[in-house]
Structure 1
Amino acid sequence: MKKVGLALLVFAAVAIGVISQRHVILVRIMAMQGVANLSPPAEEGPGVRWHDDYFTIQALGPGTFAIGEPRYYQQNFSYLIAGTQRAVLFDAGPGYRDIRSVAESLTDLPITFIPSHFHYDHVGNTITFENVAVLDLPYLRERAPDGFLQLSFDEHLGEAERFEAPVLQVDEWLAPGAEIDLGGRSLEVLYTPGHTEDSISLLDRASGFVFSGDFIYPGPLFAFLPNSGMGDYIQGAENLLAVASERTRIFSAHRADPPGAPELTPGDVVDLKSALWAIRKGELSATGIYPRVYPINATIELHAEPGWLQNWTRRHPGVGR
């Protein structure tokens, strides 16, 4: 009996260790699989042109461009948004190719880089920018008293594709709800957590455009990562819906299939919010073991932790838009 008891203790210790380190294990398994080869170019439809053999450019409106990486397996899209005095590059992809030169080919204005969040496929990694602005949350600012923010493993996850977590030199801190004046045009910073604690979207009220980063996009939304939160996802949906209207067009950072930039509607955010509450109440069934896969609508799924590991706490409940 003593041997059985000891074996059970060892098994319990191993199980606890695996659970506590599940995200590290997951990322390292991804790293073992290597980086996927570039896919062949696909037909991108009218209004989209190839900048070179890797990037595509699509004009969404005056001074607004979607910069696509359709050959990269994650199908990333970043956005250049220009006024009359300055421009913003919202996200920068993984940095396998230099997106900065693409953005500079589209405008002569000074460009500020703003990451929607800190995952490796959005911060450009080895690409540097003259001006960088990030979300102003207390725990982030406290880590960068000199303006240099070292990204953590949980924030960056770059080991999955062998990227070292970079240090961002922060030139501007963006408070949730702040207006970014581009000259003749402004963007509002929306706090849209869920995919990560530090996720933001940008709202252009004049055009009705929302640039959502990874908060919502067509395909599988990842809510099982170390910096994800189910309660945060509800907060993010509420914040986005508070400013949305019938004319709102949501441009996101990933797509499921070509052609062109991924676009959703406020109805998709409503579906996400409804599904989250249904999951919270135990009313929505899921498939799979890890992650658990919940259907949102015909184009979106939510990949989440098992119920007993789901975090429904809002980490920054007082932070609105």
Structure 2
Amino acid sequence: MTGRRWFAVRETAPGVFLIAEPGHVNSYLVLGDDLALLYDTGMGIGDIAGEVRALTSLPLLVVNSHHHYDHRGGNASLLGVARDFAVHAEGAESHGAPAPREWLESYAHIAHGLREKYQALRALDIEAFFLTDSRVEVRPVPELRRWRIEAVRPTRLLHEGDTLDLGGRRLRVLHTPGHSPDGLCLWEADSGLLLAGDTLISGTFFAHVPGADVPDFAASTRRLAELPVRTALLGHNLRHRESGGFVVDVAEAFAAVRDGRTRPVVATDMFGTAAWRHDFDGFAVFTALRATTPGSPEGAGR
């Protein structure tokens, strides 16, 4: 399967392109006058390098929002294309290993199941609701027996407050732990644009997996809610774009989870892992079952 059939690409803000693997992960290409920045590289299933080069010939800086495989899967395809691979210094060592075969096989199974569920939803939708959008439908899954996510060593380490100058636009690095210790967002003050990675998503937040931390999530999202966000671009799900009001809602939700002010139920994530599920208006939060009180610090790892 070619990259063009796997990715859904469109301009989502001035000079910013969504490069989505619908139902899986969202990456974003930001164009400056002198430099392009690719925020995350996706699953490594399609040819994201080809997608980038179809949009720009500018020198390229790759920034990974965090070290998880689904956000750095395309790094290897960009070797020889990207000038630098930049990550938060907190997670540099976590980029040193490829994705294990067990994880790839598990995710391949999930991807096929996701496509089947989407087809069933789409069939019902066509009959009555007309809510889905064929431009961003969950794609058929290609043959994945040779799928690999290779390790690519970072060439640049980022820290809180660093400025990335693309020529004509400047993005500031925000260290936002919570989903993972090395999480980072990029903030463009001039436009009110926030590239959020997995610090903000429109589905279920994974605050129950090793490395995640609910109090950190609450602090990071509260910090983002204090910014004058006009547009937040999210790391997952078909609903990839939200306003500043959504950021405030997420911050309030994580404060409620942290403080034990929710009534969670036991549920399972896409990998079959049991967790507490805290539901809110338009999204949910998973926290670890081992917490003595749902949402307490000792139960909030990824």
TM tier, smaller: 0.7 to 0.9
CA contact (8 A) 1:193 1:199 kept: yes
Indicate which of 283, 288, 302 corresponds to 1:305.
288
Q: Which residue of 2 aligns with 1:94?
A: 43
Q: Which residue of 1 aligns with 2:18?
A: 66
The yes-or-no answer on 1:267 pairing with 2:251 is no
Q: Which residue of 2 aligns with 1:136?
A: 89
The structure-2 alpha-carbon separation of the partners of 1:175 and 1:56, relative to structure 1 and needing over 3 Å to count, comes to same
Q: Which residue of 2 aligns with 1:57?
A: 9
CA contact (8 A) 2:96 2:151 kept: yes
AA aligned opposite 2:88: L
CA contact (8 A) 2:98 2:151 kept: no
AA aligned opposite 2:252: S
Distance 1:231 1:173 in 2: 25
Indicate which of 176, 179, 185 corresponds to 1:201.
185
Identical aligned residues as a percent = 27
Distance 1:51 1:153 in 2: 21
The yes-or-no answer on 1:283 pairing with 2:265 is no
Question: Which stretch has the larger CA shift, 58-67 or 228-237?
Answer: 58-67
Task: Give secondary structure in 2 for the equivalent of 1:168.
Answer: coil
- Report Cα offsets for 1:165-212 as digits up to 9, x if no partner: 643222211111111010111111111211111111111122211111
Q: Which residue of 2 aligns with 1:182?
A: 166
Distance 2:199 2:233 in 1: 11
The yes-or-no answer on 1:221 pairing with 2:193 is no
Indicate which of 142, 167, 172 corresponds to 2:151.
167
Task: Give secondary structure in 1 for the equivalent of 2:247.
Answer: helix
CA contact (8 A) 2:65 2:185 kept: yes
Task: Give secondary structure in 2 for the equivalent of 1:278.
Answer: helix
- Report Cα offsets for 1:134-188 as digits up to 9, x if no partner: 1123xx45x49xxxx414879x965643776643222211111111010111111
Give the alignment of 1:105-120 within 5 angstroms. 105-120=54-69
CA contact (8 A) 1:191 1:239 kept: no
Q: Which segments of 5 or more consecutive residues in structure 2 lack a partner in the other structure?
A: 109-146, 268-273
How many residue pairs get aligned? The number is: 248
Distance 1:62 1:275 in 2: 30
Task: Give secondary structure in 1 for the equivalent of 2:71.
Answer: coil
The yes-or-no answer on 1:249 pairing with 2:231 is yes
CA contact (8 A) 1:219 1:300 kept: yes
The structure-2 alpha-carbon separation of the partners of 1:206 and 1:136, relative to structure 1 and needing over 3 Å to count, comes to same
Distance 2:214 2:8 in 1: 33
Task: Give secondary structure in 1 for the equivalent of 2:252.
Answer: helix
Distance 2:150 2:181 in 1: 18
CA contact (8 A) 2:264 2:279 kept: yes
Q: Which residue of 1 aligns with 2:224?
A: 240
Q: Which residue of 1 aligns with 2:112?
A: none
CA contact (8 A) 2:222 2:252 kept: no
Distance 2:185 2:207 in 1: 17
The structure-2 alpha-carbon separation of the partners of 1:63 and 1:279, relative to structure 1 and needing over 3 Å to count, comes to closer
Task: Give secondary structure in 2 for the equivalent of 1:169.
Answer: coil
Distance 1:233 1:194 in 2: 4
Report the structure number with the largest CA radius of gyration. Answer: 1
